[in-house]
Structure formats: structure tokens, C-alpha cells
């Protein structure tokens, strides 16, 4: 199976999870770059508001063609109970080219199921698998077991 890991990360937590998944699957990674500044307190507030409003952002062009892969694994932090504007923009841009997908998230609050449902509805495809890890698990390394089970499910 040829997989691609696509993700957005503001603080680095989702990036760490993406790296673990990509490493386990020997898959390339595509990091989404939000062209709107999300740095500092104002950026953080704007990010939460944009996520809450379900507003996509403008992202830098991506380099990977999702149709070249059997599985696209999409990762997002959870902001205001929703996916990030950068992931929303990617899904809107690529939804007709995404065949088989899986989702992962990192979050401080446990509302990943609602975000995953929103992602599913946006692309009109059921994810093959999902996994949500907390920011605390990322910081203490406890996410690796969850990632291992997620990867095992993807390979089954």
C-alpha cells in the first residue's frame, strides 16, 4: 500500500504524530502551510475563531498528487472542536481526488469525533480508520502505542 501523510501543525504536536505514522508506514509527508499568520496570541485567537466559523484559509500549493497514492492519511489539531482552516482548505481543494482516507488528530479537549465527522461529511467519504491523541500524550510520548494500533489497523 502506498500511503501519504498530509497534516497541518501549529505547535508541533500534530507534526510529531505525523512523523510517527509516516515512519511506521515508510510514507512521505506533506505539511500544509497556512498563508495566514497563526503566530502569537492574536494568531492563536484568529485560528480558533476561523476554525469555529468553519472558514477555510489559503494554503501554499502542495507538492504531492493524492491520486498517486492508495491511502491519504490526514492529520489536524482540533481547534474549537473543529479541524483547522488549513486542513479544511486542503479537503475542499482535493476532495474529488481523495479515494481512501484515514484521519488523525491531536487535541487538548476530547472533541475529535465531531471534527472527524465534519471531515468525513466534507469529502463525502468514510475514513478507513481514525485516531485521536491528546497533547499531553504527545508531550510525554504516550501516543506511540495509539499510533502503533492505528498503523496496524491501516495495514490490516
Q: At what angle do helices 85-94 and 40-52 cross, to 10 degrees?
A: 50
- Report pTM: 0.92
Per the CB < 8 A criterion, the answer to whether 138 and 16 are in contact is yes
Q: Which domain holds residue 138?
A: 3-155
The residues, ordered by sequence, that sit 6+ positions from 58 with a Cβ below 8 Å of its Cβ are: 34, 35, 36, 89
**Overall domain count for the chain:** 1
pLDDT tens per residue, range 104-134: 999 877 679 999 999 999 999 999 999 999 9
pLDDT tens per residue, range 62-108: 999 999 999 999 999 998 888 999 999 999 999 999 999 999 999 87
CATH number of the CATH domain containing 23: 3.40.50.360
Amino acid at each position: 500500500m502506498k500511503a501519504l501523510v498530509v497534516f497541518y501543525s501549529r505547535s508541533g504536536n500534530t507534526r510529531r504524530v505525523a512523523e510517527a505514522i509516516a515512519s511506521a508506514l515508510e510514507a512521505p509527508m506533506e505539511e500544509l502551510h497556512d498563508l495566514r499568520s497563526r503566530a502569537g496570541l492574536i494568531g492563536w485567537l484568529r485560528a480558533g475563531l476561523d476554525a469555529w466559523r468553519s472558514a477555510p484559509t489559503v494554503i501554499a500549493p502542495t507538492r504531492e498528487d493524492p491520486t498517486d497514492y492508495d491511502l491519504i492519511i490526514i492529520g489536524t489539531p482540533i481547534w474549537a472542536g473543529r479541524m483547522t482552516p488549513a486542513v479544511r482548505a486542503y479537503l475542499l481543494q482535493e476532495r474529488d481526488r481523495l479515494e481512501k482516507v484515514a484521519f488523525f488528530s491531536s487535541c487538548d479537549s476530547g472533541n475529535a469525533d465531531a471534527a472527524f465527522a465534519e471531515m468525513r461529511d466534507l469529502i463525502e467519504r468514510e475514513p478507513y480508520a481514525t485516531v485521536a491523541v491528546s497533547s499531553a500524550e504527545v508531550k510525554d510520548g504516550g501516543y506511540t502505542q495509539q499510533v502503533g494500533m492505528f498503523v496496524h489497523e491501516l495495514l490490516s
